[in-house]
Amino acid sequence: MASDSPRAFNFSAGPSALPEEVLRQAQADIWSLHGTGIGILEHSHRGKTFDKVLFETFDALRKVSKLGDDYEIILMPGGATVQFALLPMNFLRPGDRAAFVDSSIWTRVAYEQAVKQVPSEYIWSAKATNYDRIPKPGELPDCSKYAYVQYCTNNTVEGSQFDGPLDVNAPTICDASSDIFSRPYDYSKHAVILACAQKNLGPSGNTVMFVRRDWLERSNDISPILSFRENAKAESRLNTPNTFGIYLIGVMCRWLLAQGGMDAMGKRNAEKAKVVYDAIDNSGGFYAGTAQPWCRSQMNVTFRIANHALEQRFIDEATLLGLDGLTGHRSVGGMRASIYNAVPLKACVALADFMREFQRKNG
């Protein structure tokens, strides 16, 4: 049943690589789940078989996140951008102001969704340096006047990454879409944590939300389908949810736990990132990273070739060798190797070898 055709090393930024074990499990469960003779795509979202899938996904998410019962887990449709729009609707009241740390395109997208609804401000921006950095301690203002401050842990586009929770004197909302569960991180420092699934958690179109219960309890009374509180009350199946997405997030989280959870992933991802960054740093200027070395991402390694004219050749030759998805984000160009949890060390080694060989031939 399972296909054995060759697979490429997938460096795509999302949707992105999934572990082989997860894909093989999904292949089997699409045919017949738990011996029912009915596949996961065909089971009713109200049936007993799906009940088990749903509760196992909640359970695995709680274990891997290390968050306690003071957080509700909600599986929302619509990707991260939809949640960006729902956050102000759910949590802000007349007179409230929202603040954003402008360290990546994704906080700008979040700001644009919020500013149509409530007064919203940037409290810091990396725009002047082409988004190559995050704020250093002491660079953020007093935030006591804001209802919340939203930031993005990992800049998927320009490749910078926070090394710990944002430290401000206001509740924080954390967009962890592109580095969730990739290293030890204290998620309990936030009021809300959200992550679209298509990088470290599974298929696109699904978003995992962890919301502090006290926030949910005092959230606004809005249309039920847009309300985090009502979705939580209905166990994330107020209407027909993306059952396959919920299933696959569970399989991914159990795979993560079997690898050793966030701690083990952190060690593995640091080793993987070092292999690729070493190829950049030891290239004598042939390659240049686009993020500042002190805050560069372990998930999205972004780089340019000093002679930009060689970049398309680099991408084309890499693709022919089975190193896929290396094109930089359309807004910035260059190259990007997304090395999420599911990307193995051997893919990073193959990429670094290719980078050295390409430099030898073209340097």
Nearest partner of 135 among 98, 103, 99, 173, judged by Cα: 103
CB of 6 to ligand PLP, least distance (A): 27
Q: What tokens were used for 30?
A: 């699409």
Task: Verify binding: residue 332, ligand PLP, rule CB under 6 A.
Answer: no
Task: Verify binding: residue 302, ligand PLP, rule CB under 6 A.
Answer: no
Among the listed residues 124, 179, 199, 255, the single catalytic one is: 199
Among the listed residues 102, 132, 175, 179, the single catalytic one is: 175
Closest-by-Cβ residue to ligand PLP is 79
- From the centroid of its chain, how far is CA 19? 16
CB of 193 to ligand PLP, least distance (A): 12
**CA 161 → CA 11, 164, 262, 326, distances in Å?**
18, 9, 16, 19
Considering only residues 49 through 88, tell me which ones interact with ligand PLP, judged by CB under 6 A. 79-81
Please count the residues of the chain.
363
**Contact criterion met (CB below 8 Å) for 305 and 160:** no
CA distance 29 to 241: 18
Q: Amino acid letter at 35? A: G
Instruction: Choose, by CB under 6 A, the member of 58, 106, 247, 303 that binds ligand PLP.
Output: 106
- Of the two residues 162 and 287, which places its CB atom closer to ligand PLP in the complex? 162
CB of 256 to ligand PLP, least distance (A): 18
CB of 199 to ligand PLP, least distance (A): 7
Task: Verify binding: residue 17, ligand PLP, rule CB under 6 A.
Answer: no
130 Rama class: left (phi>0) / alpha (psi -120 to 50) / beta: left
User: Is 31 tagged catalytic?
Assistant: no
Task: Verify binding: residue 156, ligand PLP, rule CB under 6 A.
Answer: yes
User: Is 145 tagged catalytic?
Assistant: no
User: Is 175 tagged catalytic?
Assistant: yes
Task: Verify binding: residue 150, ligand PLP, rule CB under 6 A.
Answer: no
DSSP code of 6?
Answer: -
CA distance 257 to 259: 5
Q: For residue 326, report the phi and psi dihedrals to the nearest 5 degrees.
A: -90, 0
Task: Verify binding: residue 177, ligand PLP, rule CB under 6 A.
Answer: yes
- Of the two residues 16 and 283, which places its CB atom closer to ligand PLP in the complex? 16
Going through the chain in order, the beta strands assigned E by DSSP cover 9-10, 71-77, 98-102, 120-125, 148-152, 172-175, 192-196, 206-212, 287-289, 300-305, 323-324, 335-338
Task: Verify binding: residue 178, ligand PLP, rule CB under 6 A.
Answer: yes
266 Rama class: left (phi>0) / alpha (psi -120 to 50) / beta: alpha
CB of 24 to ligand PLP, least distance (A): 25
- Give catalytic residue positions: 106, 175, 199
Which stretches of the chain bind ligand PLP, using CB under 6 A?
14, 79-81, 106, 152, 156, 175, 177-178, 196
